[in-house]
Amino acid sequence: MKTMRDEQKTAGTGAKNVLITGASSGIGEALALECARRGAASLFLCGRNEERLSAVADACRALGAEVHARSLDVTDEAGVRRWVEECEATAPLEVVFANAGVATGAEIEENVRRTFATNVGGCLNVALAALACYRARGEKGRAARRQIVLTASIAGYSPLASCPSYSASKAAVKTWGLANRRPLAREGIRMNVVCPGFVRSRITDKNTCPMPFFMEADRAARIILDRVDRNVGLIAFPWPMRFASWLLAICPWRIAERISSMLPKK
């Protein structure tokens, strides 16, 4: 019932200046389009694929938003910090979505390192740059909305033999974000963590495993934005997958390991 109510809410109080990484496809693309529909004034979007990113930017402009798009790899720490600072100087950021992420594929060294560099390092690059901008506003900025939303995954609830690096990298994002929520709240900064299940994206398009409770990206974006506006700390959905993942996480390790080893590889 909560999800149905979430989807029926309007977003008249949605943020006006929003930054989204990984905006060229999947959840990032859907978030950009939904923010534009809800009246965002300035959208700052980045992605690695310039052609797809340009198409998303054009679609958001058609919905009335002013869009600033940049082709950028979030693992570039210095480049990300410069970009975030430029965005902040253009229009004070209200919500920053550290959303870019990759799947691992084969668990070979190159892929494992790329997974952690993007899913953990890239997330930190965006979040830490945003925090620095928020804090630089000083006391004057405390009254303004300052929010950082990290995209983790339901896979981050417990170690999964089907996707070791992916589940571990998302677990790191989930833990770091939730652990920072209370300390940052004392500074007037919100931090939220999103843990979606299977949502249509370029990652899920490559999956050959069963994907229970599969969700279209536009529906996921509506759920996320509604709960971000309400400052829900952990935004995990759909609830059956959240419950199953939580149950697996609290099982004795030997049982959890056996169950995990039976799951099909992504």
Query: What is the average pLDDT across 47-74?
Result: 96
pLDDT digits 0-9 by tens, 81-98 = 999 999 999 999 999 999
Question: Hey, which residues are catalytic here?
Answer: 166
CB contact set of 168 (below 8 Å; sequence gap of 6+): 116, 159
**Average pLDDT of the chain to the nearest whole number:** 88
pLDDT digits 0-9 by tens, 184-239 = 999 999 999 999 988 876 665 566 665 667 788 999 999 999 999 999 999 999 88
Which tokens go with 202? Answer: 């370029």
Q: What is the pLDDT of residue 205?
A: 52
CA distances from 155 to 22, 199, 247 (A): 19, 12, 13
Q: What is the pLDDT of residue 138?
A: 76
Which tokens go with 8? Answer: 């029926």
Separation between Cα atoms, residue 108 and residue 103, nearest integer Å: 12
Q: What is the pLDDT of residue 25?
A: 92
Per-residue b or e along 111-135, where b marks 16 or more CB atoms closer than 10 Å to that residue's CB: bbebbbbbbbbbbbbbbbbbbebbe
Counting Cβ atoms within 10 Å, is residue 174 exposed (0-12), middle (13-18) or buried (19+)?
A: buried
Q: What is the pLDDT of residue 5?
A: 38
Highest mean pLDDT of the ranges 124-133, 134-143, 234-243: 124-133
Question: Is residue 51 predicted with pLDDT exceeding 70?
Answer: yes
Bridge partners of 151?
194
CB contact set of 102 (below 8 Å; sequence gap of 6+): 114, 115, 118, 119, 203
Separation between Cα atoms, residue 99 and residue 123, nearest integer Å: 7
**CATH number for the domain that contains residue 35:** 3.40.50.720
pLDDT digits 0-9 by tens, 155-181 = 999 888 888 999 999 999 999 999 999
Query: What is the average pLDDT across 27-40?
Result: 96
Name the residue range of residue 161's domain. Answer: 2-262
pLDDT digits 0-9 by tens, 117-128 = 999 999 999 999
Q: What is the count of structural domains for the chain?
A: 1
Bridge partners of 105?
none
Separation between Cα atoms, residue 112 and residue 117, nearest integer Å: 9
Taking alpha carbons only, the member of 184, 113, 116 closest to residue 148 is: 184
